[in-house]
Structure 1
């Protein structure tokens, strides 16, 4: 991420300008990387385990890396046949986020790590 940003700065400093495909891929990867950190906290907080956790994790990981690679490879690398795969990567991200949205919607307050047992008065 930082390397791509530094390269964009270099292009701008030399007057070459940053191509739109490079900006798009950089933005996707940046936002999705932040969302990956949030997802890393949300999965255990919502108690998502087992095969559902695997589906959420892998659909997100594949989408997170596939989506930014489309503009970089399809436009920047001239591999235009990869353009339609953006729908696959975006679809995988949507599956991951829809599962987590459902998990957030069906959670109760006590299942989110809650406050634990009620405090007992001291025996002083």
Structure 2
């Protein structure tokens, strides 16, 4: 499952970069980039980076079984749903889809709350949470 998160993250970054290049072409042609394109681009970039981080955090916190599947599925749905709804709703005029933004946002929130729970209920020595075996330098 963490492969899905990491893969979705890297794919999202590639798509975000392609959209960024398209925005550059628009600007180079003397036009303004539509705000909906900028918003979707920014959200996909941030959520894709977070998907990669989640790909490491899920196993580090010991999230397993159906909870792991739920966290992964909910996060990926939100990662693509939020920018997708902006692009489809505003960019392509499918405004009737805009209310589904609450669904995609809710999926992200539930995923984060599950990770919050795992992060505060793990023993302090789990997943690198214990003290270091050396004293860090005072740089």
TM over 0.5: yes
More helix by share: 2
Which of 88, 91, 97 aligns to 1:76? It is 91
The alpha-carbon deviation at position 112 of structure 1 amounts to: 1.4
Give the secondary structure class of the aligned counterpart of 1:15.
coil
- Which residue number corresponds to residue 111 of structure 2? 96
Pick one of 6, 12, 21 that aligns with 2:36.
21
Structure 2: unaligned runs, 5 residues or longer: 1-15, 131-139
* Count, aligned residues: 116
- Could you tell me how far apart the structure 2 residues matched to 1:30 and 1:112 are? 27
Partner residue, 1:32: 47
Matched, 1:6 2:1: no
Within a 5 Å distance, the mapping from 1:59-74 to structure 2 comes to 59-74=74-89
- Alignment root-mean-square deviation, CA: 1.5
- Structure whose alpha-carbon radius of gyration is higher: 1
Gaps of 5+ in 1: 116-124
CA offset at residue 114 of structure 1?
6.3
Aligned structure 1 segments of 4 or more residues deviating by more than 3 angstroms: none
